[in-house]
A = this chain, B = another copy of it.
Amino acid sequence: MNSGADRYLHVRKYTEKIFKPLATEDYIAQPAAFVSPPKWNLGHTTWFFETFLLKVYAPGYRIFDPHFDFLFNSYYNNIGQRVMRGKRGDLTRPTVKEVYAYRKHVDEAILEILNSNELKEVSDILELGLHHEQQHQELFWTDLKYTFGINPLFPAYPGKLPFSENIKETAGKFLQVEENLHEIGYDGIGFCFDNELERHKVFLRDFEISDRLVTNGDYMDFIKDGAYSNFNLWHDEGWKWVNDHKINAPLHWHEQNGAWHEYTLKGLRKLDPALPVTHISFYEASAFAEWKGMRLPTEFEWEAAASRFDWGKRWEWTNSAYLPYPGFKKAPGAVGEYNGNVMVSQMVLRGASVATSPGHSRPTYRTFFHPWERWQFTGIRLAK
């Protein structure tokens, strides 16, 4: 078996390993439009390989079920129609068992083509598909945490967690970075998404950046100080968001008998002040920084300093909007819909989280969410 096949099996089996402990019921529900049911996630990652690799490069490939194009397409308009994003949880069929059969069918066809085809296009799309699947592995955790977290029974993940939500921050300091013209973007080593291109120069003034994340303890002080009712700390639209949704704490925080608790994938537990705060929106991250008399770093500051601090526990909000780098080119066709079409109204996050799959992070990686989204393992690093 060649190394492409090895890597393919490694990533695909990891997906099944983390999904398998679920009860069948857990695969179905979609309690919010931004959550994908695990069944859909499982089918969609498979559909990606079938659509972009097998249908194009595997002559004689037998399509598993023509309906699956409609069911498991995410947002690729070029591929045709699809189930609306918020409607994925409405589908009880195909069954979970049938989706696993679909995976098996596609896996066999992929392994066959990898043994016979050495085209660069094939290995490129394979690599893209595997990184895409790793993104969905992380989404699996945050979607599941959301689904379990709104259930009054607060169920724990029924298997062994491959990561810990309990890695504490230790007292830190601000690192000094001097004014300079920095190189930003993909450095040519390994895989990158198109949004990390092209590498380019950015001039940055002197700045300071914290070597640790903001903790639950810090954030409790912010709450106690009345931050959620002090409009001076908030963006106008953040203030509206706080009031419209009656927000008074991070997602997954619950006050019980006068003490804050936090839902984690191991169940509900008393909030530990030493852990990094998580599940906060960009609005909350900004308001916290404002309250501290500091600010969030830009994505360029973050990247320029990333080698000097530990990161990887939380995705960190930056004060940079998600926009193309100089020279960015949208890939032609459906694959080009991946990043280019969403470069408006979102903010960049940098780093990685405890739920990021092994090997799926690097200093130039850019992820992005709307400023109100907070079901990811988001966090705050301060700059000044």
Chain A residues in contact with chain B, CB under 8 A? 23-31, 39, 67, 70-71, 75, 77-78, 83, 87, 89-96, 147-148, 150-153, 155, 181, 200-203, 205, 231-232, 234-239, 282-283, 286, 319-321, 323-324, 326-327, 336-337, 341-345, 347, 371
Q: Is the CB of B344 within 8 A of A147?
A: no
**Is the beta-carbon distance between A344 and B371 smaller than 8 angstroms?**
yes
- B237 and A344 within 8 A (CB): yes
> Once bound together, how far apart are the Cα atoms of A202 and B184, in whole Å?
14
- Which among B67, B155, B239 is the interface contact of A153 at CB below 8 angstroms? B67
B203 lies within 8 A of A25 (CB)? no
Instruction: Report Cα–Cα, A98/B87, bound state, in Å.
Output: 26
A342 touches B235 (CB 8 A): yes
Q: What's the Cα separation between A231 and B25 when bound, in Å?
A: 34
Give CA–CA (A75, B371) in the complex, Å.
21
* Chain B residues closer than 8 Å to A90, beta-carbon distance: 29-31, 147, 150-151
Quote the shortest CB–CB distance from A96 to chain B (angstroms): 6
A321 contact from B70, B152, B323, Cβ within 8 A:
B323
Q: Are B93 and A151 in contact (CB under 8 A)?
A: yes
A236 and B71 contact, Cβ closer than 8 Å, known pairs A26-B92, A29-B90, A87-B31: no
Minimum CB–CB distance for A348 against chain B, Å: 10
A339 and B239 CA atoms in complex are apart in Å by: 15
Give the shortest distance, in Å, between A94 (CB) and chain B (any CB): 7
- A282-B344 CB under 8 A given contacts A90-B150, A95-B23: yes
Which residue on B lies nearest to A207, using beta carbons?
B326
Kindly state the separation between the CA atoms of A341 and B290 in the bound complex, as whole angstroms. 11
For A236, give its contact among B39, B70, B342 (CB under 8 Å): B342
Chain B's closest residue to A146 (CB) is B90
Chain B nearest Cβ from A150, distance in angstroms: 6
User: What are 21 residue pairs bridging A and B, where the CB atoms are less than 8 Å apart in the complex?
Assistant: A23-B93, A25-B95, A25-B96, A26-B92, A29-B29, A29-B90, A77-B231, A78-B232, A90-B147, A93-B148, A93-B151, A93-B155, A200-B205, A203-B203, A205-B327, A232-B336, A235-B342, A236-B341, A237-B344, A237-B345, A345-B371
Q: For A286, list chain B residues within 8 Å (CB).
A: 344
List, in ascending order, chain B residues with CB within 8 A of A337's CB. Answer: 236
**Given contact pairs A26-B93, A94-B153, A235-B343, a sample of 19 additional A-B residue pairs in the complex whose CB atoms are under 8 Å apart:** A23-B95, A24-B24, A25-B39, A25-B96, A28-B29, A29-B89, A29-B91, A75-B236, A92-B147, A92-B155, A93-B153, A200-B203, A203-B203, A232-B336, A235-B342, A235-B344, A237-B342, A319-B324, A344-B347
A323 and B327 contact, CB distance less than 8 A: no
